[in-house]
Structure 1
Amino acid sequence: MNWQRKVNKALVRFTGFQIERVGKAPPAPPAPEIRPPADPLTDRLLDAPVFLLSPVRSGSTLLRSILNAHSSLHAPHELHVRRLRVHFDTNLAAKAMAALGHNQADLEHLLWDRVLHRELVRSGKQYIVDKTPANAFAYERIAACWPDARFVFLLRHPASIATSWHEAAPDKRTPEEATLDALRYMKAVQRARKALPGLTVRYEELSAEPERVTREICAFLGLEWEPDMLAYGSQPVLEKGLGDWRDKIRSGAVQPARELPREDQIPEALKPISRTWGYLS
């Protein structure tokens, strides 16, 4: 109504605040189709990237460091490339890309591939390894983006994961909160294990028998095992959110794992996943 517009204009002049129209929000646009590259030979620069899928606090920085010591593997800090987004500022931009055969997800995949490929080229090595734990929540997109991707699943006793997750930030999470938060990652990794082919390794075995386990990983990746992998050296990235920042990883060598918890030390919420992973009968 005219009188409402006049009142709103007067209020804006008087208060300096814009009056927002109250009503139903416009519907969100449909999610773009997630699909493999139209032509993997030309649409992807990376060759057979390796993704280390694991829960938080499961020894993934240790395994990353070991793999990075191989002459053919570049395993940088956590990269979080799946959080890189493409946005169309106008409908014309979206239409122009659609005319080229690209939707938003296609363009994001091109971006992810380009970022990882640039990092790999800078390293001078043959294959890249991405070990970001949150990738477990996006395993379907990763598998669609890189049809030739290879997956290594790293497990650890669920109760040990939860304890370590609490110890990493005791002022932010209670033990109960840490347990439930870590369980989200465990369930995501288990979903990925059921859906994707790959190699499963355990942190406890990696700590106890690093040569045997790393030989298995190298065989899976089609690489020769290198003894220098077990003395991976100092780590340049020790910042929370990019990898393990605590003292054990600073040693530059594989350290023994903590003692496995007894059954009565396993929280009830973790017992089902502990059974699924073979840590509890």
Structure 2
Amino acid sequence: MESHDWTLEHIPAADREPYLRRGRGLAFVIGPMRGGTTLLRKIIDAHPRLTSPAETWFLLPLLGMWSGRGEAGAYPPKQAAAAIQSHLTQQRFIEACRAFAGSFFASTLPEQSAVFVDKTPPYMDLADTLPVLFPDARFLVLCRDPRGTLWSRVSWKHTQPEPMAKTIEGVARHIQIQASFAKKWADRSMLVGYERLCAEPADEAARVCEFLGVERHDAMVEYGGVEHHEGYGDENSRRHTRPHADSLRRWEGKLPETAQAELARRCTPEALATLGHDDLIAAIQRAA
């Protein structure tokens, strides 16, 4: 489907829900926690024909009803899943999820917007489910140097203390998810460079616009001049009005080379190369 035919540009607001059920005019950011997803979503949200609100989260409990995974204080999830499965086939359940999601996205998409971009980092664990659930959706794989993501998680004021090795394991797992997704769903996704978004925001934002089927809008890099829906997400973005390069290499001099090498090893050279992190591969070679 051509980009200009994929948006909801000429579809009245009252008629959009069936299209959103299958993912037309719907995009997802595939990016990890502390990976720059809030910056990307605010830049996108500053475009007059794009909407990217705060994290939605609803797909986690919705899809979890079938698997029985997760936590619920009032009932045992696995028992609830068994009850649902006694009434619906998996295909009918998927159709019900599409109906709910289509209603959710349609009811929160402003009439003047042509595309809804969902930025919810926990959806990383649903990465391979999303393209099946929404066969017409598109995906922005946000690639940040994993050393930056690691340092951001370690130094974040809300982080619960844990061994460095465990944090490294979590960052590496997300890198592997992203790399696998980028290969498997290459025809429906594009790689967005976090570092390019900070250093060359207008050009990187223009690439995103082209992929989403809307015109370039350089003013979107001044995202602070637009009112955004606020909720879950990085509160640091509220202190700035545009992208900046100050956060790009904060890990330098703070992350030991041994930690960098272990991170690179766990990410694997193949996954790093897929996502364009060739310089981190050198850390493995130096430590060898």
For normalisation by structure 2, the TM-score amounts to 0.71
Q: For the structure 1 residues 43 and 207, does the alpha-carbon distance in structure 2 shift closer, same or farther, using more than 3 Å as the test?
A: closer
**1:267 partner letter:** Q
Contact 2:94 2:133 in 1 (8 A): no
**1:148 partner letter:** D
1:192 corresponds to: 181
Aligned counterparts of 2:61 and 2:86: Cα–Cα separation in 1: 21
Residues 126-145 of structure 1, C-alpha deviation per residue, up to 9 Å, x if partnerless?
A: 11001111222212221011
Does residue 181 (structure 1) correspond to residue 146 (structure 2)? The answer is no
Contact 2:53 2:230 in 1 (8 A): no
- Percent of pairs identical after alignment? 22
Aligned counterparts of 1:221 and 1:130: Cα–Cα separation in 2: 13
Which of these two proteins has the greater Rg computed from alpha carbons? Answer: 1
SS of corresponding position for 1:52: strand
> Following TM superposition, by how much is the alpha carbon of 1:212 offset from its aligned partner in structure 2, in angstroms?
1.1
Aligned counterparts of 2:106 and 2:185: Cα–Cα separation in 1: 23
1:25 corresponds to: none
Residue in structure 2 matching 1:49, options 14, 19, 26? 26
1:144 corresponds to: 132
Question: How do residues 9-158 of structure 1 correspond to structure 2 at under 5 angstroms?
Answer: 44=21, 47-85=24-62, 86=65, 103-120=92-109, 122=110, 124-158=112-146
Contact 1:74 1:123 in 2 (8 A): no
Residues 40-78 of structure 1, C-alpha deviation per residue, up to 9 Å, x if partnerless?
A: 967827523111111221111001000000011110111
Question: How do residues 240-259 of structure 1 correspond to structure 2 at under 5 angstroms?
Answer: 242-246=232-236, 248-256=237-245, 257-259=247-249
Residues 61-96 of structure 1, C-alpha deviation per residue, up to 9 Å, x if partnerless?
A: 001000000011110111113213257979997676
Residue in structure 2 matching 1:165, options 136, 141, 153? 153
Does residue 279 (structure 1) correspond to residue 268 (structure 2)? The answer is no
Contact 2:22 2:134 in 1 (8 A): no
Which structure has more relative contact order (CA 8 Å, sep 6+)? It is 2
Aligned counterparts of 1:233 and 1:163: Cα–Cα separation in 2: 25
**2:30 partner letter:** L
> What is the aligned residue count?
236
For normalisation by structure 1, the TM-score amounts to 0.72
> Following TM superposition, by how much is the alpha carbon of 1:170 offset from its aligned partner in structure 2, in angstroms?
4.4
**2:219 partner letter:** D
> Following TM superposition, by how much is the alpha carbon of 1:175 offset from its aligned partner in structure 2, in angstroms?
3.0
Aligned counterparts of 1:205 and 1:92: Cα–Cα separation in 2: 48
Residues 170-207 of structure 1, C-alpha deviation per residue, up to 9 Å, x if partnerless?
A: 44334333222222222211221121121112111111
Residue in structure 1 matching 2:261, options 246, 264, 268? 268
Q: For the structure 1 residues 176 and 212, does the alpha-carbon distance in structure 2 shift closer, same or farther, using more than 3 Å as the test?
A: same
**1:172 partner letter:** P
Residues 181-238 of structure 1, C-alpha deviation per residue, up to 9 Å, x if partnerless?
A: 2222222112211211211121111111001111111112221111220111176566
Aligned counterparts of 1:55 and 1:192: Cα–Cα separation in 2: 13
Q: For the structure 1 residues 159 and 96, does the alpha-carbon distance in structure 2 shift closer, same or farther, using more than 3 Å as the test?
A: closer
Contact 1:136 1:192 in 2 (8 A): no
Unaligned regions of 5+ residues in structure 2, if any? Answer: 1-16, 67-78, 283-288
Aligned counterparts of 2:209 and 2:193: Cα–Cα separation in 1: 15
Deviates more, 1:225-234 or 1:203-212: 225-234
Unaligned regions of 5+ residues in structure 1, if any? Answer: 1-39
Q: Considering only aligned residues, what root-mean-square deviation do their CA atoms show, in Å? A: 3.1
Deviates more, 1:102-111 or 1:67-76: 102-111
